[in-house]
Structure 1
Amino acid sequence: MLDVVIVGGGACGLALARGLAGAGVSFALYEARPRLGGRVLSVEDQSSGMRVDLGPTWFWPDTQPTITSLVKELGLTDFPQYDPGTALLLAFGDKKPETRMTPNLHSGARRLEGGMASLIEALTAAVPAEAIHLSSVLRAIADRGDHVELTFETEGETETVTAERAVLALPPRLLAEHLAFQPELDALSRNAMRSAPTWMAAQAKAVVGFSGAPAWRAEGHSGNAFATHEQAVLGEIFDACDAAGERAAIGGFFAFSPELREAFGGGMAMLIDSQFVQLFGKPLEAGGEQHIQDWAREPFTCATIDLTPPSEHPDYGDPLLRQAFWDGKLYLGGAETAREGGGYLEGALVAAERIRLRLLDQKETSTMISGEGATGEALNEASMARFREWVNAKRAPTFASYRQRLNFGLSNGQKEQITQRAMLGAMEAVLKEALAVLEGLPFDHSVVSVDKGRSDLTPLAQKAFDGFIQELLDGVIDYNRTSCALSNFPEEHKPSKDYLQVTLLDIAAAWKEFSLDANQVLLDKRVADQQATRSL
């Protein structure tokens, strides 16, 4: 049986696969499309002689450290998005465009030589070819107790795959709309999946390549343009040339809705050429080689609800999408599950790293737990592994406990410190449970030192909670700012730094009490073991 099955061969799935391959974990990756990359799509343009991006194009080093580090690690060549020169504004369909100065319009964005597919190719190169399965559509997934069972459809044939754990590195809305879970996920999690818009899913993009140098640069234009009139085909336009500016291409995002794109499908090429000529004049009259990608028509990208896109970038990273389901056997990945860089390639890579760490920690814990009849250091390691496993399993329930306490406070008329009380109560409850778990675990204290009244096991028990409080706090902040119920309580809706600081001080006091109590539990067990040994 495989350790892990990854579903989704986009940036998240491939980055996770690369990480697992490097750690010696057995896995398989299944992708519904006949190609890898997901929303990353770079195609060959014969006119310019380069690849152009019809999906994600940029990354921002100033705000996206994960992809920036990965690009460097993989040895990929990046270059700045071309911005020097004037931008154009076409506000009226029957008039000439206005000229505007817009320095650094793309805020330091950078592109990859060879297109974003270069990133996908580099990730794929680190994944064993036999682990990759294309054209395999996931139809159902079931919890079978000690493993998960996944049902795929591949070229009309049904295939069943089993693994200890599964990762669904796909847009959450697609999972909610198309995938059969057995047992079904809880209502709150299903709602969180439906509430996570698939970024750019309803968008379409066009890129036109030309032979020769970019004529617009010779005219002093950056290639950036905006068309705001009602008949505009492309709303936002940008320079898509190579790093040296010797190979010419220009791209744009459609202003037309998915319905209009379908209605004007037959004449779309002419409309695009006409708008480019209207913006940049005679140098573009000869036209070029057009490439159009309508993501709204991609069944493995766009859910039905995505056809009504959000008006601005959503607040991604709902904690319910970052929890482990089915007792740690099922994880959700993809860019929309990430708190940092949600929707972007950065978010996809952040999600992959989050899941990689969880899976490797589970594997290490399982290896330790498997040693029955252990004594000495082996017994202590196995027991601490069990404790870490228990703590990790409590991350999602503790956040759920916070929400329940918050709603209880609201329903009972509490008006002050609702967040503070709910978060502190949730943490105190889990720490109290943790003491009981520690008390029930076997340890061999004959190999444990005590220094100045502190057992050497105490720091290990504390370490099991690494990141726990911060993860809960992140979840609290994310949940509060999107909660309609808290919109009438500004201090709770968007807690200030001072409010959060007071809350964390309360939790720090609870943590200190837990640490002292945990140490005492371990010392008491040590004394009990010594007394039992003397009586033998």
Structure 2
Amino acid sequence: MIETAIVGGGLCGLAIAAHLRRRGETFELYEARQRLGGRILTVDCKTSGLAIDLGASWFWPDTQPLLTALLTDLGLDSYPQHDEGTALRLAEADRKPEKIDVAGGVHGGARKIAGGAQKTIDALRSQLPEERIHRGAALTGLRDGGGDHVVLHFLQDGKPLVVEARRVVLALPPRLAEERIAFEPPLDEPMRQAMRDAPTWMAAMAKAVATYEKPVWREAGQSGNAFVSHEQAVFDEIFDACDADGRAGALGGFLALGPELRQSFQVGLPLLMQSQMEQVFGDALVERESHFQDWATEEATCSALDRENGREEHKSAAHPVLRRALWAGKLHLAGSETAARQAGYMEGALEAARRVSRDILRQSQGDAEEAAAVNEDINLASLRRFEAWVDGQGDAAFDEYRRRLNASLAAQNKTQLTQMAMLATAEEIFARALEKLEALPFDLGGVAVEQGRCALTPLAQKPFGDFLRQFHDDVVAFNRTSCALSNFPDEHHLAKEYQQAIFRDLAAAWTEFSLSANRLLLAKGESRARAAS
């Protein structure tokens, strides 16, 4: 039986596989396509040698630390997206574009991966055994096999394939999973609705890149950024797609036409795209080679709901229920659209991978580590049990928050709804934590006490760092998606100042817990000393 079956060979799935591999865990990875990478797709331009990103391309180091760290770990270089010079705007089809100044540039400090984003996929892939990767395997069904396994049904290259695994990770867009996979037993309606409400970022979009002998727009003092807003627009946003040295020219663009129009115009679309590039940047553009990717035609990316809805508002944080393990911890939802922050981006894929990897390792190694620790050190064993307990309180805290929030709404309270519900929830969790500490066995003989603080107290405090971060992220994501809070703007989208006030309340509650935990541990030590005498 497979220990962990990972479904999806994009950045998230590969990052999970690489993490499990480093920790000595076994897995099998299944990808519906014949290629790996998901929405990361880099092709080589034959005439210029440029690496052309037709999918995910940019990252922002200031707000995306996981991807930044991964690139460093993999030894991959990056370079800034060209943003210098004037931008252009074409507002009417029969007129020339006008110059516009965009303070600070259009792309906000974005960088690109040298050699294309596919380099991250190739580097992660190189860490994995080839025999663990199964291409052309589309998951069609999942069945909860009972206490210890899940049954997976695939079509691999058109042939049925059935495997069993102790746990399954769906590292793919939630909408796609909800639409394409038959779950037995069926998922409950709140979970299915949360999956349907998670738009797959850029799934219904199309991206094109054309290459030229040289970047003539730069010579004209232009950035390569352009916006087309008239009704006949082919592109609505254009950008400089050159590599780091900028010797060969390249312009990329996102198409303004929806999926159906792209299909209707597909024969003449290359000419339409070329014509609009020339209209915006002038006849000096001499196209050498063009590349085009319509993501709406990718069955392993775009769901019917994504195609139907077209462009949707980007959700930077997923609904918290998408981060819950299902089927008694045997089924995990991953993929960028399940992330607590930067959902839809490469950073979100890595955030989801980190969460699921942590959960899997806790499941697979927790019991063995705890047993070994008991034989070695009863205090270490108890602290690990406490840490595991805290790690498992995320769902309970979120449920308690929603219960308290709904009670406040029912009572027609109108101010500080989030703040009061979060504080009361945190205090409830901290109270349970003290009860848990009280019930755990400790041998505090010989444990150091300095200036009134037990040496074990910092270890009891430590697990709450991740817990409070997760709790905050879940609340922010839920509030943004809550219809009930849409009439309370201050609660629907939490302002920075409001969040800081909440953090101060949580910090005060955490401080009170820490003092109580320290008193509890000191009392346990004194009790043991009296018993020994």
Q: RMSD over aligned Cα, in angstroms?
A: 3.0
In the alignment, what sits opposite 1:451? 449
Change (3 A) 1:314 1:168: same
Distance in 1 between residues matched to 2:96 and 2:495, nearest whole Å? 48
Q: 1:303 to 1:245 in 2, by over 3 A?
A: same
2:340 touches 2:474 (CA, 8 Å); kept in 1?
no
Secondary structure of the residue aligned to 1:283 is: coil
| 1:427 counterpart residue number | 426
SS at 2:183 equivalent: strand
- Which of residues 186, 189, 192 in structure 2 aligns to 1:187? 189
1:474 aligns with 2:512: no
**Structure 1 149/379 Cα, relative in aligned 2: closer, same or farther at 3 Å?**
farther
In the alignment, what sits opposite 2:223? 222
Shift of 1:407: 0.9
- Same amino acid, percent of matched pairs: 49
User: CA–CA distance in 1 between the matches of 2:71 and 2:94?
Assistant: 44
TM superposition score normalised by structure 2: 0.89
Q: CA deviation at 1:40?
A: 0.7
Shift of 1:434: 3.5
Alpha-carbon separation, structure 1, partners of 2:324 and 2:413: 29
1:171-206 per-position Cα deviation (integer Å, ceiling 9, x unaligned): 111122222233333433322222211111110011
For residue 6 of structure 1, report the CA deviation from its aligned partner. 1.8
Contact 1:58-1:111 within 8 A present in 2 as well: yes
Instruction: Select between 130-139 and 502-511 the one with higher mean Cα deviation.
Output: 502-511
C-alpha separation in 2, matches of 1:288 and 1:502: 56
**Aligned residue for 1:352?**
353
CA distance in 2, matches of 1:207, 1:425: 53
Residue 171 of structure 1 corresponds to which residue in structure 2?
A: 173
* 1:71 to 1:507, Cα distance in 2 relative to 1, 3 A: closer
Q: Pick closer, same or farther for the CA change 1:527–1:66 going to 2, 3 Å.
A: closer
Specify the SS of the correspondent of 1:170. Answer: coil
1:65 maps to amino acid: P
CA contact (8 A) 1:439 1:521 kept: yes
Aligned to 2:126: 125
Cα distance, 1:283–1:387 mapped onto 2, change above 3 Å? same
Q: Secondary structure at the match of 2:284?
A: helix
**Kept after mapping to 1: 8 A contact 2:316/2:344:** no
Deviations 1:217-265 (A, max 9, x none): 4444433222222112112122222322222322211011111111111
In structure 2, the residue matched to 1:409 is 408
**Match in the other structure for 1:74:** 74
CA shift digits 1:8-55 (9 cap, x unpaired): 111111122222222222122211111001001111222223321111
Label 1:75 to 1:3 Cα distance change in 2 as closer, same or farther (>3 A).
same
Task: Letter of the 1:187 partner, please give it.
Answer: E
- Contact 2:225/2:237 (<8 A) preserved: yes
Paired residue secondary structure (1:403)? helix
Secondary structure of residue in 2 paired with 1:111: strand
In structure 2, the CA distance between the partners of 1:389 and 1:326, relative to structure 1 (3 Å rule), is farther
- Structure 1 gaps, min length 5: none
Q: Map 1:104-503 onto structure 2 (within 5 A).
A: 104-143=105-144, 144-210=146-212, 212-284=213-285, 287-307=287-307, 308-370=309-371, 377-441=376-440, 443=441, 445=443, 449=447, 451=449, 458-495=457-494, 500=499, 503=502
Q: CA deviation at 1:520?
A: 6.3
Normalising by structure 1, what TM-score? 0.88
Where 2:484 maps in the other structure, the secondary structure is helix
The code of the aligned residue for 2:67 comes to: I
Report the Cα offset of residue 474 of structure 1. 2.5
Aligned mates of 2:272, 2:69 — CA distance in 1: 40
C-alpha spacing 1:244/1:529, structure 2 compared with 1 (3 Å): closer
1:37 aligned residue: 37
Contact 1:376 1:447 in 2 (8 A): no
Q: Which amino acid aligns with 1:236?
A: E
Q: Distance in 1 between matches of 2:496 and 2:251?
A: 44
| SS of match in other structure, 1:237 | strand
2:28 corresponds in structure 1 to 28
Distance 2:506 2:252 in 1: 51
Number of residue pairs matched by the alignment: 529
TM-fit CA distance, 1:299: 1.2
Tell whether the 8 Å contact from 1:152 to 1:158 is kept in structure 2 after alignment: yes
Residue 325 of structure 1 aligns to a residue in which SS? coil
Contact 1:165 1:330 in 2 (8 A): yes
* Range with greater deviation from structure 2 (35-44 or 513-522): 513-522
Q: State whether residues 203 and 296 of structure 2, in contact with CA within 8 Å, keep that contact through their aligned partners in structure 1.
A: yes
Contact 2:434 2:516 in 1 (8 A): yes
Q: Flag the 1:438–1:185 CA change in 2: closer, same or farther, 3 A.
A: farther
Give yes or no for contact 1:205–1:253 (8 Å, CA) kept in 2.
yes
Against the structure 1 CA distance between its residues 376 and 195, is the aligned structure 2 distance closer, same or farther, given a 3 Å change threshold? Answer: same
Alpha-carbon distance between aligned partners in 2 of 1:499 and 1:99, rounded to the nearest angstrom: 39
Query: Alpha carbons of 1:92 and 1:54: their partners in 2 closer, same or farther (altered >3 Å)?
Result: same
